Amino acid sequence: MCFSLCSSAHHSINCIVPPHMLRVLALRGDEKTAQMARSLLKQTEKLRDDRAGQVTPPLPIRTGALGGPALDDAGEICCPDRRIHDGEYKAALPGKLVRSEGDPPSGIEDADLAYDGAGQVFSLFAEEYGRNSLDGSGMPLIASVHHRRNYNNAFWDGSQMAYGTGDGKLFRSFLELSVIGHEMAHGVIQHSGGLIYENQAGALNESIADVFGSLTLQRGLGQQVHEADWLIGRGILGPDINGVALRSMKAPGTAYSDDLLGQDPQPWHMDGFVSTGEDNGGVHINSGIPNHAFYLFCNYIGGKSWELPGRVWYRALERLNNPMASFAEWARQTMDAATELAGLGSSETAMLRRAWKLVGIGI
């Protein structure tokens, strides 16, 4: 199997497969697997300083309002500009353009899945939060499928998406809607001022991406809060892996338990916070705590998660203006957003406060 990383000198790379999985593979995998996993981890470590400092200044003007469609300068409803490429199992990006905006299906299944998924992410941000594409200014949605051969990852590199096909053993696909939404949401975070990719700020970066990944999926399926499974990457694990997804927002720490991949290490409460020098301070592990707070908030108020809860998280991100935010600072920011959107003393703000308290963060 092939583990490799496409690096960039100018942009952070946000991969869906977390380093703690690769570390377990380096210890438990066969010789070839372990060697490739160690190589990937070594490359990832070299990118740490560059990745941790990547932020993009937020746009000073929003294109629309929460709950209303994004509008262009002429007052017309914004439309996506999707450009899907076939990487033809090579490392170079973006590859061969196979489907542009408005084209009929390409006949390449992965390319058409990427096209449809990108459209659903665009629709979430444009129609629910008034944002015109990932940067708020109509940037093209560029993606490459069939990136490298048997590539066990998907990533946002600062300007485009790239999807491997998986090796069919550890991973079978990365074109699952919550994964697409998660990775593209890193672009939204990047263009909203960013969150330093270390420690609690880095875990928030991962958590916010999980939130919008889950919202993309729930909205696409038309699910109410209680109908959703709250899984990130359901169905992408290989057929012999004992697990259902990469992460669970409903029950962090339960997404998988496998002899090869190990046990899902995510905590749901600050009592289980993992202090580590690995994975930029455990950004893919400790994200389970704010993930669970969002899940609790949604379930306390019910309805559609992408409506008020999603608007609270989006408004908090818009106004964060602190790339080194802690969990407590983010919680206070969401409370400010909830107060603005639902009203001071509302039941919704009370439920949000309760959600944060139940994961060990008092505000």
Indicate which residues carry an active-site annotation.
Answer: 183, 284
The predicted structure's pLDDT at residue 18: 83
Of 164, 190, 216, the residue that ends a domain is 190
Of 190, 221, 247, the residue that ends a domain is 190
Residue 250 shares a structural domain with residue 309:
yes
> Model confidence over 51-93: pLDDT tens digits?
444 455 555 544 467 878 888 888 889 999 999 999 999 989 9
CATH classification at residue 82: 3.10.170.10
The predicted structure's pLDDT at residue 8: 33
Ranges of the chain with pLDDT below 50: 1-11, 46-54, 61-63
Residue 2 resides in a domain: no
Residue 128 shares a structural domain with residue 221:
no
Residue 212 shares a structural domain with residue 183:
no
Residue 52 resides in a domain: yes
Range of the domain at 182: 14-190
Residue 211 resides in a domain: yes
The predicted structure's pLDDT at residue 285: 97
What is the value of pTM for the model shown? Answer: 0.92
Residue 206 shares a structural domain with residue 317:
yes
Residue 363 resides in a domain: no
Residue 172 shares a structural domain with residue 271:
no
CATH classification at residue 330: 1.10.390.10
Residue 249 shares a structural domain with residue 320:
yes
Residue 9 resides in a domain: no
Residue 168 shares a structural domain with residue 23:
yes
Rounded Cα gap, residues 84 and 71, in angstroms: 24
Q: How many domains does the chain have?
A: 2
Of 135, 160, 190, the residue that ends a domain is 190
Residue 26 resides in a domain: yes
Q: What is the mean pLDDT of the chain?
A: 89
> Model confidence over 207-232: pLDDT tens digits?
999 999 999 999 999 999 999 999 99
